[in-house]
Amino acid sequence: MNNRCILQIVLLLCFPTTTLSLSYHLLRLQQSSSSLECQKLLQQLNGRPEDCLSDRMDFKIPKEIKHPQQLQKEHAAFVIYEMLQDIFVIFTRNFSNTGWNETIVKDLLVELHQQMDLLETILEKKLGEENKSWGNSRTILHLKSYYWRILRYLKAKQYSSCAWTVIRMELFQNFSFINRLMDHFQN
């Protein structure tokens, strides 16, 4: 964990009276650098998308997610949390067919985990019950199904190198989406 990240967590934990907006501001900064780091790590994993065109697949992104501007700030945090968690689970699956560097995948898992911890702190401390129950909302369920389809696809393709390349590209784009969601935290 780098120093900047530690500082931000300390700020969040030691000043529980700071306003919601300050936390979100820190979260946004932290999340956007974390997303970039994840994308950088994903780019270092081998596999050429142009070799895997016939394995492409439409995983049918939930329609609620397509219009992030309609989400409330609090709910966007849940969406991001769910995405990070599901992406984490995907990268714990068997990728031995890909020849990927295990150190890079491990770094990716650590990065995802740290970011989930930070989000969890905010979600736990700042949200009332009403907003917490949104974690079980239809949007989140649809999002879970989306990642479930990805897992099922990998399994059906027997974790082939090309299947992983397709998924790596899909998830790479997801981090750009997370950053777009994050921009709402500014308002």
Ligand X SMILES: *[C@@H]1O[C@H](CO)[C@@H](O)[C@H](O)[C@H]1NC(C)=O
- For ligand X, the binding residues (CB under 6 A) are 61, 65, 72, 74, 83, 94, 96-97, 101, 103-104, 127-131, 146, 170, 173-174, 177
Residue at shortest CB range from ligand X? 128
Residue number with CB closer to ligand X (26 or 79):
79
Residue number with CB closer to ligand X (52 or 127):
127
In the complex, least distance from residue 130 CB atom to ligand X, rounded to whole angstroms = 4
Locate all alpha helices (DSSP H) within the chain, ordered by sequence: 3-14, 20-43, 73-90, 102-126, 129-132, 138-156, 161-182
In the complex, least distance from residue 62 CB atom to ligand X, rounded to whole angstroms = 7
In the complex, least distance from residue 119 CB atom to ligand X, rounded to whole angstroms = 16
d(CA 177, CA 33): 14
Residue number with CB closer to ligand X (26 or 65):
65
In the complex, least distance from residue 7 CB atom to ligand X, rounded to whole angstroms = 25
- Which of 169, 128, 125 is CA-nearest to residue 27? 125
Residue number with CB closer to ligand X (29 or 104):
104
In the complex, least distance from residue 40 CB atom to ligand X, rounded to whole angstroms = 11
DSSP annotation of 46 reads -
